[in-house]
Structure 1
Amino acid sequence: MVGERGQVARPSGRASRIDALKRLCEGGAIVHIADAAKQLDTSEITIRRDLCDGENGIVCLGGYIMFAEEKGERYSLTHAQGTNTIAKRRVAQEAAKLIEPEDTVFIDAGSTLEHLAPHVPQNANVTVVTQAMNIAESVVRLEGVTLLMVAGVYHAESGTFSSETALQMLREINITKGFFSAAGIHETEGVTCFHFHEVAVKKAAIARSQRRFLVADATKWGKLRPATFAHLSDFEAWIGQDESVAGSSDPA
């Protein structure tokens, strides 16, 4: 039940609270736990206890409440590679124009930037740094391009590697330009992705990049995914901000 000012009437009992939380998350919305507690006129601790068993179709992940199918495990690189390809190819090719001879570039994971990799200038003493298998597979086919693969534990759902060794490797590389993908770009919560294991690598690459570019089409605006890794102010430019694809809502 919703009150006059849009606040959910305080539900009594765990089952009622869970039903109220589900209503807040309708349509795939991801709600901050503090906002949910305010809406339900209850405490964050109570909500966490209600959701601790993960058996009610909704979960609390990283301080956000969402339907279980919205968790990072839902993301599939294979699926993403077959969606919104025209817009992804367009923004990636625009980003590729920024790569110059002698550059050392970081190319982030995801299905958007795999369209950038084939356009890295060949035989121009360019070095590509990446933690993504799909990017590496494309770069190794290019002539005269050096590949630095950030290795570690392989995460099949995102096609990426992560480890402490990877972070140490990134700390020792001078990156002239970094190209970063996103699954969501939110006005207050920042630039987000599905998987928490990607955050440390992305942040390390951002820290080592002299110039940083966000490469994502405009449909990512307003989307909030579980893990924040940056804010728009961290980037020199958002390539694809004006790209509009009606009806699209697919991942990075």
Structure 2
Amino acid sequence: MARPSGRAARIEALRKLCASGAILHIAEAAQKLNTSEITIRRDLGDGENGILCLGGYIMSASEKGERYSLSHAQGTNTQAKTLVARQAVAMVAPEDTIFIDCGSTLQHLAANVPQNANITVVTQALNIAEIVSRLDGVKLVLLAGLYHPESGSFSSDTALKMLQEINITKGFFSAAGIHENEGVTCFHFHEVAVKRAAMARSQKRFLVSDASKWGKLRPATFAQLDEFELWIGKPDSD
């Protein structure tokens, strides 16, 4: 039986390094494989090996092709999402005006807001608004506009203008990917403007995400980690 070529062995090693959605910088990959960055780029040049090099990072091709679906996300990692959401809601105090971002994680925060909490909730997310609308003693501000069913959220210039008039005491933000070098990311570019505007209007900003999002890189960057006062759900370091 013929022995695998050096290229085949390197690609297989990269597949193992990128297992479970891991993303690593090409320099780190070159060091682990004891080869050069140029060699790795050449190995992955045809894009047909299940591994991609994008923006200097190595990732599984299926990771790049993944698409977000709110309905699907609502049924995944529910226990972990509930845990981080309960940690987040503990920071909410009477008379707060809070921003609750879109996505499946923060709907658990909304579900844990008590009746008669005496707060105002601002959101661009339909799933969040539906939960909050049923709470007595909680005011709801829905940032409406064009509805995006894949994320269950709205976007519009009107929403951005509305945010300019709202003083948010605490903003709770979700993410689809969190990368220590590339920042906090989401799947959809239409989400970025509202997220950025809400961050700018928030006195305190909290990143709320279960551990599965860490180390992932998604298409649209909307923040850097140092823009948040607290990272709720950050996995423990090894």
Give the TM-score, by structure 2 length: 0.76
**CA distance 1:243–1:114, shift in 2 (3 Å):** farther
1:118 corresponds in structure 2 to 111
Percent of aligned pairs with the same residue? 69
2:231 corresponds in structure 1 to 238
Whether contact under 8 Å (2:18, 2:58) holds in the other structure is: no
1:105 corresponds in structure 2 to 98
2:129 corresponds in structure 1 to 136
1:14 corresponds in structure 2 to none
Secondary structure, aligned partner of 2:203: strand
Q: Equivalents in 1 of 2:219, 2:138: separation in Å?
A: 34
**CA distance 1:236–1:201, shift in 2 (3 Å):** same
Task: Name the count of aligned residue pairs.
Answer: 221
Cα deviation for residue 65 of structure 1 reads 8.7
5+ residue gaps, structure 2 = 29-35
5+ residue gaps, structure 1 = 9-18, 52-56, 245-252
Whether contact under 8 Å (1:61, 1:226) holds in the other structure is: no
Q: Equivalents in 2 of 1:62, 1:102: separation in Å?
A: 44
2:77 corresponds in structure 1 to 84
Q: Equivalents in 2 of 1:210, 1:101: separation in Å?
A: 16
Residues 194-226 of structure 1: per-residue CA shift (max 9 Å, x gap): 111111111110000001111112222211111
2:193 corresponds in structure 1 to 200
Whether contact under 8 Å (1:217, 1:243) holds in the other structure is: no
Q: Equivalents in 2 of 1:109, 1:69: separation in Å?
A: 24
Give 4+ residue runs of structure 1 displaced > 6 Å after superposition.
29-33, 57-68
Residues 165-208 of structure 1: per-residue CA shift (max 9 Å, x gap): 11111111100000011111111001111111111111110000
Whether contact under 8 Å (1:128, 1:145) holds in the other structure is: yes
1:11 corresponds in structure 2 to none
Q: Equivalents in 1 of 2:76, 2:144: separation in Å?
A: 27
Give the TM-score, by structure 1 length: 0.72
